[in-house]
Structure 1
């Protein structure tokens, strides 16, 4: 018996299960009362107790708390089809949450006030792990897929830094990591998907089958369909990883070296960050070469021509899995300290390379250590030519820098959170002015007009896809797009 099954049973013990909906009072009932509409038969449960609903009014941001009317704990894909159809008939909203409180959102994007939240974590079966792809439920976490594929010497081409996220969650947003310069994002490496549209239709889509839906759902922010299963590409990976970390004191040289490395391809992974150093800031290069024992990397050749500060280089070896899962000990510590549950007013930006250096300097000059709450600042490039999802909006430039202020609100007061969200909004306005885009999982208040600008020139296509696949606007209201 899986731990998921046990935890689901524990969740359901003492929970109040809905069996009907009263369209007059707009409320659920645990008995079939007069005038109530019975729920469709379900393999799982629809929970309406306070504890279940409160838990689903949560995401990783811990900033917005929109309480739904009920939480669907699906026992099958058919449950999701049935409840989307039911929600559509009754004029209510519905959205998928990829593991409550751990979702790939920080500002209520997967929350549904006065509607239904689907806890996708119960759909977590790895149906097939082959040599070149894996067919998995949307609730599967990337670390679970990786543990299943590595015995074959295979891995998804791109992994987010934190691999406890779900497959469906990151495919709805994008899924970026240090391998993106070579492979694109995770949405560029999904081969086919089963999707429940806002019409309540279960559709299999791919590049050769139902292509418009396939393109809409990848980075579609849950607006057109709920991803319930996905076939993810797998590639061969060596079992070992050598990590090189070094510091720069010059931002220009740091960014130039990063761009050079993603073009010459000498490393398998290229990231970077802004770190505290000697009372100021330095720029940390983190690059990795995967290898097989007996064919160790040639350090001098790999590092030739790079302009990092002498004496700052650190080199370490480990397994590929331990490298991919490197954040797990830190996250466990943050959970033990209680900091993981603090508000996270994150801001992830895609910055055009032509403006990146001056923009980064400007933002850093206005960002104090207190503004970050010891959260990291990421800075690294990828190539726009590798991106294939039309609704993943990035700047029009050959190279795009991910620039992320992964803030923790310390102290976790409403006043501090409001201040940081306000700073995010001011930075967003400046970013928009230089042709940049946000990675829309962030704590930035956006109006429908902001969303139209974000998707321009693809807005009409986005709007058309909404009319086609979710004409009653049932899905994912938390984004605030429409």
Structure 2
């Protein structure tokens, strides 16, 4: 039996109920024991390692960790670690290994299908690991804690005229969270995924070892962590590339009435590189049919020429919108609409999102079929995104892409009342059907959404990358404690 911790160490692990403290783990009952300070401790309890932060077992903390942005899946842990240091992560992952507890890191809780939940296990809040390393006007990289948000990192680097090269549309996500899935955005046709712009990671493996890895140092671990869905290690910090930042940008919205023309113009812009950012939305008409298309493009040029930038495009010239924006205002342009959604209570609705990666050669047919079956009621107050990527810019082996030079991301960001479980179930089934259509065409999913998936599906999803992932899992997480919510192993 492990020796019980000192009173000082035990008092560091504070539970937030009635002044109680966690005094140990009960292996038989699979739960943490709490008592008022000074109470007798049972000999059957296994003592905690010393912690700089807090181990939380109160109802509010466990309930929050049993939910996510999807509000569909609810798996309750037995404890939540709010680390005061990376050493806390190491200590608790080792503890969970010894006692057979599952572990899941949680950044901003923006998963949609329980990916960062751990039923009966430990959830590690990475938000306290938010340090941003030194950066100066000539820095080419910056090291940042996994719990820091991209908004905070960008503000820190913009103070020196620098910026990370790739962003997801929503900036209030954690560094570790997006790197674990890949991190795609409108700049990916130039710079790949966010995970393609990392030069080094510091991680805690599933075995509880703190390791630095890079393309030349433990490259097998590096490849297994980036876009690896948390299966082999917990990211605690990352070194990210920086580029010179523009001060202002030219932002265009170009309307289209035809899907094939819209996709062809997006493909042109992705391959010729005239815009720094290319995305697009699909919008319904007055009858609810999703047959309107808006190409969104941004030039980082200091003095852009509209006629040159729009040359050769076949949009409706009558509906063009163009404006100059401050660079950060452009990156954070969703902030106002997100606040409006929160004020209206819609942020707390269920989000059974669908995110698919479609071969460019089949994009019109596959997207057309999926959009043809979509109704405004099934989308709710969500949006539909459709935009191109450039396969040659995407290098992470676990970020699975269609075998096509210009794949497209189709994201149907559904929003529906969470109490309407019949509708949620129907939308999940629709997501699976859309995935089957995509897979039959040679596509896959971008695994941030809510597509019902089993282990055989994951093996097929990773395809030729599966043997390397399975071997990395065996080496770095031999007791299979990490991120059970993905359902991969």
Moved more, 384-393 or 216-225: 384-393
Determine which of 208, 211, 231 is the counterpart of 2:239: 231
Query: Which residue pairs with 1:168 in the alignment?
Result: 176
Listed one character per residue, the Cα deviations across residues 123-144 of structure 1 (whole Å, up to 9, x for unaligned) are 1111222421111100000000
Alpha carbons of structure 1 residues 26 and 411: separation in structure 2 relative to 1, 3 Å: closer
Query: Which residue pairs with 1:3 in the alignment?
Result: none
Deviation at 1:47, TM superposition (A): 0.8
The separation in 2 between residues aligned to 1:21 and 1:259, in whole angstroms, is: 56
How do residues 190-339 of structure 1 correspond to structure 2 at under 5 angstroms?
Answer: 190-279=198-287, 280=289, 281-292=291-302, 296-339=303-346
Alpha carbons of structure 1 residues 51 and 211: separation in structure 2 relative to 1, 3 Å: same
| SS of residue paired to 1:78 | helix
Query: Which residue pairs with 1:128 in the alignment?
Result: 134
The separation in 1 between residues aligned to 2:418 and 2:74, in whole angstroms, is: 19
The separation in 2 between residues aligned to 1:343 and 1:265, in whole angstroms, is: 37
Uncovered stretches (5+) of structure 1, i.e. residues with no partner: 1-8
Alpha carbons of structure 1 residues 330 and 204: separation in structure 2 relative to 1, 3 Å: same
Q: TM-score, normalised by structure 2?
A: 0.93
Moved more, 283-292 or 315-324: 283-292
How do residues 23-62 of structure 1 correspond to structure 2 at under 5 angstroms?
Answer: 23-31=27-35, 32-62=41-71
Alpha carbons of structure 1 residues 185 and 15: separation in structure 2 relative to 1, 3 Å: farther
Deviation at 1:15, TM superposition (A): 7.0
| SS of residue paired to 2:341 | helix
Q: Does 1:374 align with 2:378?
A: no
| SS of residue paired to 2:238 | strand
Alpha carbons of structure 1 residues 307 and 210: separation in structure 2 relative to 1, 3 Å: same
RMSD of the alignment, in Å?
1.5
Query: Which residue pairs with 1:154 in the alignment?
Result: 162
Deviation at 1:278, TM superposition (A): 4.2
The 8 Å contact of residues 354 and 451 in structure 2, kept in 1 or not, is answered as yes
The separation in 2 between residues aligned to 1:309 and 1:14, in whole angstroms, is: 64
The separation in 1 between residues aligned to 2:402 and 2:229, in whole angstroms, is: 18
The 8 Å contact of residues 14 and 21 in structure 2, kept in 1 or not, is answered as no
| SS of residue paired to 1:348 | strand
The separation in 2 between residues aligned to 1:426 and 1:267, in whole angstroms, is: 34
Query: Which residue pairs with 2:6 in the alignment?
Result: none
The separation in 1 between residues aligned to 2:284 and 2:152, in whole angstroms, is: 34
Query: Which residue pairs with 1:18 in the alignment?
Result: 22
The 8 Å contact of residues 345 and 417 in structure 1, kept in 2 or not, is answered as yes
The 8 Å contact of residues 357 and 444 in structure 2, kept in 1 or not, is answered as yes
Alpha carbons of structure 1 residues 10 and 477: separation in structure 2 relative to 1, 3 Å: closer
How do residues 61-140 of structure 1 correspond to structure 2 at under 5 angstroms?
Answer: 61-99=70-108, 102-103=109-110, 105-130=111-136, 131-140=139-148
The 8 Å contact of residues 17 and 49 in structure 1, kept in 2 or not, is answered as no
| SS of residue paired to 2:154 | helix
| SS of residue paired to 1:200 | coil
Uncovered stretches (5+) of structure 2, i.e. residues with no partner: 1-12, 36-40
Q: Does 1:144 align with 2:152?
A: yes
| SS of residue paired to 2:183 | coil
Listed one character per residue, the Cα deviations across residues 320-350 of structure 1 (whole Å, up to 9, x for unaligned) are 0000000011001100000001000001111
Moved more, 257-266 or 13-22: 13-22
Query: Which residue pairs with 1:185 in the alignment?
Result: 193
Query: Which residue pairs with 2:351 in the alignment?
Result: 344
Alpha carbons of structure 1 residues 94 and 287: separation in structure 2 relative to 1, 3 Å: same
The 8 Å contact of residues 370 and 410 in structure 1, kept in 2 or not, is answered as no
Alpha carbons of structure 1 residues 309 and 278: separation in structure 2 relative to 1, 3 Å: farther
Alpha carbons of structure 1 residues 421 and 16: separation in structure 2 relative to 1, 3 Å: farther
